[in-house]
Amino acid sequence: MKRFALAAMFCASCSLFAEQTYKEQKHEEKKKSVERVGGGAAGGAIIGALAGGKKGALIGAAAGGGTGAVYDHHKKKQARRRQ
């Protein structure tokens, strides 16, 4: 009986810590989106600055941000298909 109670407590504690709430999942999803779009914009700005100075950096940031948004959309769609 003692082993059963201990095993039940262990299973209950594991399930409490393993499950994410809906709010936490949405927060993680938004964080990933910001990282993808921001990373694309930063990369585009760096390449644009090297190629064309200040104006090139602005154009590169816009292009990189757009590319990051397309990539983020693709990854979200891929994740929805897996569920």
Asked whether 32 and 5 are in contact (CB, 8 A), the reply is no
CA gap 48, 62 in Å, rounded: 10
Residue ranges of the domains in the chain?
29-83
DSSP 21: P
Per-residue pLDDT of the chain (83 residues; tens, 9 = 90+): 555 555 555 555 555 555 678 888 888 899 999 999 999 999 999 999 999 999 999 999 999 999 999 999 999 999 889 87
Model-level pTM greater than 0.75? no
